[in-house]
Amino acid sequence: MKQRYFIHLSYKGTAYHGWQIQPNGISVQELLMKAFSTILRYPIDIAGAGRTDAGVHAKLMVAHIDLNEALEDVAAFIFKLNGLLPNDISVQKMLTVKANAHARFDAYSRTYDYFLISKKNPFLQDLAARVYNYLDFESMNKVAKCLLEYTDFTSFSKSNTAVKTNNCTVTQAQWVKHDDVWVFTIQANRFLRNMVRAIVGTLLQVGRGQMTEEEFRAVIEAKDRTKAGTSAPAEGLYLVNIDYPSELFL
């Protein structure tokens, strides 16, 4: 009897062409499927909660998988998985869920962090974006609150995607300093492709004094990606949490 699991994993995205299988590069999804198939000795499909772009990291990615039968020892299976996976990918948990539970469509909230540094730090190489000029984070925080007032984020979306709507409900958007690192946390029910990096890139213009709150609002209301700022570098972005209804879990 088949059993569906939610897989909790994390990865450093520097070496990968994102989460989703790509014809021109190695992806996290591809390596995870190969590891499962090697242990189970039958083909495996894995569906992720979303797709992270090349170079983007995940402190928590969730994916679902159907196994031909329930695992007798989940901890031992995860140990074998992590032995096959490279050091920059790690599975933390596998949770039994209902047969129709979906890692992508059943998620009701997702959270991203964007890490920004202003000084050279060898321990954050490829793990945070560096800026070289002064930024007014007070103004950036004030303007970031505007995001909670809008739902159509076409201006921050990659063009020509296959989504049916560009509407999202943002519930948190704030910069907080942790030691020498500024972290932008944004939470929403869903995100468009490239949305967080486009928002951060536009907020950086605010921080440099190149854009006012009124101009930031005008960017959103224009529903035109060309009006927003350049996308912030991928290495600063982390998927950090995904929330699901408790009734999905067995």
- List active site positions: 53
| Rounded Cα–Cα distance for residues 151 and 201 (Å) | 19
Can you tell me which residue has the tokens 């930024």?
135
How many Cα neighbours within 13 Å face the side chain of 123? 2
| Rounded Cα–Cα distance for residues 151 and 154 (Å) | 9
The residues, ordered by sequence, that sit 6+ positions from 242 with a Cβ below 8 Å of its Cβ are 49, 60, 61, 62, 103, 107, 109, 110, 111
| Rounded Cα–Cα distance for residues 62 and 41 (Å) | 23
Report the Cα 146 to chain-centroid distance in Å: 21
Provide the total of helices (H) and of strands (E) in the chain, helices listed first.
5, 9
User: Which neighbouring-strand residues pair with 10?
Assistant: 90
| Rounded Cα–Cα distance for residues 244 and 102 (Å) | 10
Determine contact, residues 92/63, Cβ cutoff 8 Å: no
Amino acid, res. 148: L
Determine contact, residues 118/131, Cβ cutoff 8 Å: yes
